[in-house]
Amino acid sequence: MSQISPRPLVEIFDTTLRDGSQREGISYSLDDKLRIARKLDELGVAFIEGGWPGSNPKDVAFFERARAEKFTHAKLVAFGATRRAKLKPQDDPSVRALVDAGTEVCTIFGKSSPLQVLEVLRTTLEENLAMIEDTVAWLRAQNRRVIYDAEHFFDGYDADPAYALRTLDAARKGGAETLTLCDTNGGHLPWEVEASVRAVCAHFGPDVRIGIHAHDDTGCGVANSVAAVRAGASHVQGTINGYGERCGNANLCVIIPNLELKQGRQALPPGALPRLHEMARFVAEVANLAPDEHMAYVGNSAFAHKGGVHVSAMQRHPDAYQHINPALVGNEMRVVVSELSGRANVVSKAVELGLTGLDEKTGAQVVELIKLRENEGFSFEAAEASVTLIARRLASNYQPLFQLLDYRAMVSRHHDKPFAEATIKLKIGGQEVHTAAEGNGPVNAFDMALRKALQPLFPQVDHIQLADYKVRILNSNSGTGAVTRVLIDWHDGQRRWSTVGAGTSILDATWLALADGYEFILAPRAASAAMAASA
């Protein structure tokens, strides 16, 4: 009976907590680092580089706290440098800190380039080789596994291939289990990386594991990593979302699916790949950065289709304009509705949002209304709830949840503090409701007044929250008379939705977005409650 050959394995070494934290604008707290480490272990990476314990107190505290963690898949790694010139490893505090961190695995970096040795370290080429070998050997004697990062390897190999290989020989002689080639300045191109990695693999043979650590200064961090694997590397270092210094590190959220889905290699445990989309967004949230919605594989726009021709073709075959099934990486296909849409977009979006019975004629009407309103300043690409309401309102049996009769807002400054008051008059179920509320600004007061009017009939408004409120000025050449677009993101603890409004008055634009937000979520529930009562 024939057996299926296992897929070639590539070790994934994540350095989000160390190299990734060097991105401008990121400052992880100790708890942030522990949360990300747990999530990385759930994803199934082989190594998590937690930080440099010899460089700062936070990383020392991280390794102390991490000792109590139970990791299922990953090995925690402490990072550091080779010993300093003329010191023994055991006499170098930064090397001793690696042992004190208590991790089974250590990563140390050393110089591969004569330029770096002579001009940066200010020592001799032979002393540099001794520094590499001595440090690895001492850590091995302390029962530590060692991964050696050959810093500036590709620059060094270009300048002096023989010396660059000697530095790797020194690390191997000391007992390093993996030799990682670093494109530290991020300046190399894929074919250059592939040729150098192939030469290194030929030098050491198949029994020595070669790794790649790429930066993205030419925009080739992912391509260089994939090229290195193609040339024989079986260990890849990178960060979630490509976070890192300058232009960032090689992006594991793109490398991993490229390895698994395009090269047929195993980078994560079986069944783990669909967690990638969630992982990318989790790290962005903890880092307090907006997710890159256009990132390959895991961005929310990675499988979003806007052109009418594309959507029409997708309805006939799901592979027409997608290179993979998005579910493989935990993502999903979306249809974007805009002025570029055709009927196919609207019908597909209706199905996606649970609307049934949308015929071709109604679909065409929705398209025309969207085109008209986008010409007035609306944008429906990120406001799917407002798209749903356009379709609902075209139905012959549509009854509005409420109608605005009048509103008034007053803004002032009282005792050196901003003050706002809003009054709203609505028609709800044949009755007029008149409410007023105060707030810390006109939008807050407006929202509070609307909630007060709706709450007696719809108590679930207490669970509805505004998650985000965005304002964009469109025709800025009109100055303060410009059209304003308001986009509101909502959630109620169970689902999220977005609505849009636009107009020359920011309060009118806000009203439209607020009204859509409440009607979208409350109208179906009100209809369901009415049906249950009549039954």
What's the pLDDT tens digit per position in 425-451? 999 888 899 999 998 888 889 899 999
The more confidently predicted of residues 350 and 51 is: 51
What pLDDT, on the 0 to 100 scale, is given for residue 1? 41
**Per residue in 152-166, pLDDT tens?**
999 999 999 999 999
What's the pTM value of the predicted model, to 2 decimals?
Answer: 0.72
Identify the bridge partners of residue 533 per DSSP, sorted by sequence position: none
Lowest mean pLDDT among 43-57, 370-384, 429-443: 370-384
What pLDDT, on the 0 to 100 scale, is given for residue 355? 55
Q: Which tokens sit at 118?
A: 């002579």
Mean of the pLDDT values across residues 61-73?
94
Alpha-carbon distances of 390 from 336, 365, 403, 411, rounded to whole Å = 15, 9, 15, 32
What angle separates helix 125-141 from helix 161-174, to the nearest 10 degrees? 20
Cα separation, 167 vs 176, whole angstroms: 12
Cα separation, 341 vs 399, whole angstroms: 27
Q: Contact, 14 vs 255, CB < 8 A? A: no
Mean of the pLDDT values across residues 68-80?
96
Q: Which tokens sit at 76?
A: 């925690």
Mean of the pLDDT values across residues 382-400?
80
Give all domains of the chain, ordered by start, each with its CATH number. Answer: 11-286 (3.20.20.70), 304-393 (no CATH), 403-534 (3.30.160.270)
Cα separation, 442 vs 506, whole angstroms: 10
Cα separation, 384 vs 519, whole angstroms: 13
Lowest mean pLDDT among 28-32, 97-101, 217-221, 251-255: 28-32
Q: Is the pLDDT of residue 237 over 90?
A: yes
Mean of the pLDDT values across residues 475-493?
79
What is the pLDDT confidence band of residue 339, given thresholds at 50, 70 and 90? very low
Q: Is the pLDDT of residue 383 over 60?
A: yes
Cα separation, 244 vs 250, whole angstroms: 9
Q: Which residues contact 288 (CB under 8 A, 6 or more apart)?
A: none
What pLDDT, on the 0 to 100 scale, is given for residue 387? 80
Tell me whether residue 517 is exposed, middle or buried, using C-beta atoms within 10 angstroms of its C-beta: 0 to 12, 13 to 18, 19 or more. buried
- How many Cβ atoms from other residues are within 10 Å of residue 3's Cβ? 5
Q: Is the pLDDT of residue 68 over 60?
A: yes
Mean of the pLDDT values across residues 192-217?
97
The more confidently predicted of residues 262 and 354 is: 262
Q: Is the pLDDT of residue 315 over 70?
A: no
- Determine the distance from the C-alpha atom of residue 494 to the mean position of all C-alpha atoms in its chain, rounded to a whole number: 22
What pLDDT, on the 0 to 100 scale, is given for residue 356? 56
Alpha-carbon distances of 346 from 314, 385, 516, rounded to whole Å = 13, 13, 18
Alpha-carbon distances of 8 from 238, 270, 328, 378, 493, rounded to whole Å = 19, 13, 19, 50, 43
**Per residue in 259-313, pLDDT tens?**
999 999 999 999 999 999 999 989 998 888 888 989 999 998 888 766 554 545 5
Q: Which tokens sit at 95?
A: 């090397």
Q: Is the pLDDT of residue 2 over 70?
A: no
What pLDDT, on the 0 to 100 scale, is given for residue 468? 84
3-state secondary structure (DSSP) of residue 380: coil
What is the pLDDT confidence band of residue 398, given thresholds at 50, 70 and 90? confident
Q: Which long-range contacts (CB under 8 A, 24 or more apart) does 170-174 make?
A: 170/129, 170/130, 170/132, 170/133, 170/136, 171/110, 171/132, 171/133, 171/136, 171/146, 172/148, 172/204, 172/208, 173/133, 173/137, 174/132, 174/133, 174/134, 174/135, 174/136, 174/137, 174/140, 174/146
Q: Are strands 145-151 and 105-111 parallel, antiparallel or unpaired?
A: parallel
What is the pLDDT confidence band of residue 530, given thresholds at 50, 70 and 90? low
Cα separation, 299 vs 130, whole angstroms: 46
The more confidently predicted of residues 357 and 203 is: 203
Q: Is the pLDDT of residue 258 over 90?
A: yes
Q: Which amino acid is at 112?
A: S
Cα separation, 205 vs 264, whole angstroms: 22
What pLDDT, on the 0 to 100 scale, is given for residue 480? 64
Lowest mean pLDDT among 39-48, 91-100, 348-357, 371-380: 348-357
- Alpha-carbon dihedral 256, 260, 265, 266, rounded to 10 degrees: 70
Q: Is the pLDDT of residue 423 over 90?
A: yes
| Best mean pLDDT range from 204-218, 305-319, 395-409 | 204-218
